[in-house]
Every structure is written in structure tokens, then in C-alpha cells.
Amino acid sequence: MTKETIELFSQLHAEPAWLAQLRQKALAKIEELPLPVIERVKFHRWNLGDGSLTENEVVPSVPDFTATGDNPKLVQIGTQTVFEQMPADLAQKGLIFTDFYSALEEIPEVLERYFMSSVAYDEDKLAAYHTAYFNSGAVLYVPDHVEVDLPLEGVFYQDSDSSVPFNKHILIIAGKNSKINYLERLESIGQASSRATANITVEVLAQAGSQIKFSAIDRLGQNVTAYISRRGKLADDATIDWAIGVMNEGNVVADFDSDLYGAGSHADMKVVALSSGKQIQGIDTRVTNYGRNSIGNILQHGVILEQGTLTFNGIGHIIKGAKGADAQQESRVLMLSDKARSDANPILLIDENDVTAGHAASIGQVDPEDMYYLMSRGLDKATAERLVVRGFLGSVIVEIPVKEVRDEMVEGIEEKLAKI
């Protein structure tokens, strides 16, 4: 992809000068930057982008969304927005939930201020690649003091019949003392007739006193090799309650970060992951405490079937000056096959004295005593294993605050467990 081609893409999308220039700066940096470090995951030879932006897409049949309720919703297939819904009362309050380029027209100053503000475009090779080559996205903007009771849904389909890269930027800005419940789906549709790549960055900017419940279900297909980055940036007394189901079929590296800049800020990260077949999934989950009395919790449970590989890296970093901070993490992995591979790596980096920190990590197989008990009650081995897995993951799922998300995660787990 040449500099001129990216310039043409910017012109065709009427991008402002600051964005067009940022793309070019990122493009110039790609070759000299290293890949991000995902401990114990070898992904350096993966194809995570072929240097293309977009091409003519044929949007497949669009599902019927007329019976999906009145809550705010945005649906995209590939780079195309196919459904958008916003109740009139929320629109009157100034809430915006739309595609990236529409948002550039409606709130240009806001995007110029906040786009790529939680992750530097030259942080690593994949951040630079994303900045140069993202080809679609969405923006959720919630003004100060606005509370939204209805869940806000962002549904982003990757068309498996298309070779267009799934390079998407999702920007969420929650104003001061606002309150939202956001649900995100990344999902493949179609027949997986061609290989595809995905480079997805989600920025969640929580202003002072805001409260965010962020739930996500990732179900990208076997044909998709993906890098998924979700980054939260929290101001004073802001909270983000993350709940993420990593249920992809292809190879994935993911980076889930919460940067607690504000005093009294609080982030809870709950992750459920399943790996099967021969897929590799590597997940970095990080909480960095910058602010005084900030609290970060990580809870990760994963299951591996067949010859799958799953790596959890839990990183808690308390920066000098973050007195009274608390960083806790727990990572546990259950293996249902002798051919499965796993790592659960707890990492604590403590640069301050007056703090609290702790970690727990375990990797193991199904307890024979549990299996014996269930099978003695008349269950066959496969059914007994499924019950054990449900109980193992259920301890995380019950902590997810949104019923619809819990139900979808259970559905995804059942589909994976059907392979046992």
C-alpha cells in the first residue's frame, strides 16, 4: 500500500487534515516499530494485515432488525452500516451513536481531541498499522450527566465471503457523571470462503464520575486471524466494569487494558475464553494504577479443547505515586485434552509502597473425583465434562451484570462444548 493510495482513501472519505496526516505519520512508522509483546505467544509470522484498506464490497443479505427492541443500536457488516437506531429522547439529550465518518461530521472537534488518545499511534507496529489502515468504525458519545437505562448495542459483522480487512475503530466517550451499559459483538457471517485479517481497536474514555458497563462477545470465524485491542482510560472516580467472552474460532492475540489515571478510579475485568481445534489465542489483560486509591481487578477463566492453545497474561502495574492503590488478579485454565497447551502468567509490577496487590494462577484438568461423582449418578463422560466446564466458567459468568450477555456467552460455550 503506497502513501498515495492512503491519501486517496482519505480524500474519498473527506477526512480532515489532522486525520489524513496522522495516517501518513503512522504509515511511516510501521516498518521501524516492534510488534507488541504478548508473553509466551509466538505470533510474529501470523498474517495480521496485508497493507490494504478496502475494496468494493457486496453486502450480504441484511438480517431483519425490526423486532430487536427500541434500545440504541448500530449494526455494521464489513465497512458498511446497515442499521442504526436511536430513541428520540436520547438524541435530544445529545447522545450520538453512529458510524465513524458520520461522527466526523457531527462532532469533529470531539473526535480530533479523543481519537487515539488512549493508545499512541506509534506504541507498536500493530497500533501504527491500525492508525494507517483502519477502514471503518463507530463512535458512541455520551454528554456529561446523561444516564442511559437501555443497553446500547454495537454489532459488527465480519463477512467471511469478503477479503476486505476487518480493520475497525470503535470510540466510546462517556462524559462526566454519565452512566451507560454497552454491549458489543464481533462476529463472522457467511461461508468462510477466503482468508481474512482483523485489526480492531476499541477506546473507552471514562470521564470523571462516569460509570460504564462494557460487555463484549467475540465470535470471529476460523478464517480470521485477528488482533483485538480494548483500552480504557479512566479519570477521577470513573468506573468500567468489563465482561468479555473470547470465543473466536481462528488465531487471535488480544490486549485488554485499563489505565487508571484518576484518583478513586475502578476497573473490573472479567474474561471468559475457549480455545479448540488447533487455534491459538493469546490474551494480555493489564491494569495500570496511576491514580491514588485506584482499584483494578482481573478475573480470567479459560477452557481448552482438542489441540487448542490459550495463554492468559495478567499484568498489574502500580505506578510510583499511586498510594492506596489495589491491584488483584486471578487466572485459571481448565484443559480437556492431553494435547491442549496453556499458560497462565501472573505479573505484578509494584513501584509504590502503600498499596495492596495479589495474584492467583492455576492450570489443570478436570478433577477425577468430580467426574466420578457425576458419572456415579448416571451421567455419561461427555455430559459430565460439560457440567464441570459450565461450573468452572459459571463462576465468572454470574459476575456479568447484563442478562443478555450472560445468555449469549452460555450459548457460545454450548456450541464449543458440542465438540467434546
Over residues 201-222, mean pLDDT: 96
The CA distance from 318 to 57, in Å, is 46
pLDDT score, position 223: 92
Using a CB cutoff of 8 Å and minimum separation of 24, what contacts does 122-126 make? 122/25, 122/26, 122/29, 122/33, 123/36, 124/33, 124/34, 124/35, 124/36, 125/30, 125/33, 125/34, 125/35, 125/36, 126/35, 126/36, 126/48, 126/199, 126/227, 126/229
E-strand ranges in 251-294 read: 252-260, 266-275, 280-289
Does pLDDT of 420 surpass 80? no
The phi-psi region of residue 287 (left if phi > 0; otherwise alpha if psi is between -120 and 50; otherwise beta) is beta
Higher pLDDT, 387 or 327: 327
The CA distance from 172 to 202, in Å, is 8
The CA distance from 159 to 156, in Å, is 10
Q: What is the pTM of this model?
A: 0.95
Pairing of strands 96-99, 152-159: unpaired
Please list the helix, strand and coil fractions of the chain in percent, rounded to the nearest 5, in that order: 25, 40, 35
Confidence of residue 195 (pLDDT cuts 50, 70, 90): confident
Does pLDDT of 359 surpass 80? yes
The CA distance from 169 to 121, in Å, is 13
Q: What is the pLDDT of residues 84-115, one digit of tens each?
A: 999 999 999 999 999 999 999 999 999 999 99
Domain range list for the chain: 3-365
The CA distance from 317 to 72, in Å, is 36
Contact 263, 292 (CB under 8 A): yes
pLDDT score, position 275: 94
pLDDT score, position 410: 85
The CA distance from 156 to 77, in Å, is 6
Q: Mean pLDDT over all residues of the chain?
A: 92
From residue 122, give the alpha-carbon distance in Å to each of 25, 36, 131, 231, 307. Answer: 9, 11, 9, 15, 35
